[in-house]
Amino acid sequence: MTIPAGKYTYEGELADGVPSGKGSIRYGFKEGYSCTYTGTFLNGMKHGTGKLEVKGKGAFACIYEQRYTYDKKDGIFVIKYDHGNVYTQVFLDGKSQHVRKEVSSNNK
């Protein structure tokens, strides 16, 4: 089922008319980039693991590996940039735990 919802479109499983199960959100284009989140949902919220793909030409193109608990960031977020840098950050209940790691494409 596809649902246009303001600035994005949801496509995937529904329960009682809201995103629940596997699905994707396609966000609008901004400054030459498009974003698609694919993962699991519960009662209309991101819940479980997913990936956000940011496509476009430039420094911001990347893939986020994410985990949510009732729409709050929860666990280790990994951002893999197309240019090779990898950024890792830990979240608990939607808040950064000030644990970060960045590895540049030249391993420095």
The pLDDT value given to residue 57 = 82
44 half-sphere exposure, CB direction, 13 A CA radius = 5
pLDDT above 90: percentage of residues in the chain: 61
Task: Note the pLDDT tens digit of each residue in 2-48.
Answer: 555 567 888 999 999 899 999 999 987 667 788 999 999 999 999 99
For 48-101, how does the pLDDT look when each residue is reduced to its tens digit (9 = 90+)?
Answer: 999 999 998 878 889 999 999 999 999 999 999 988 899 999 999 999 998 888
At 107, the pLDDT band (50, 70, 90 cuts) reads low
Look at phi and psi of residue 70 and say left if phi exceeds 0, alpha if psi is from -120 to 50, else beta. Answer: left
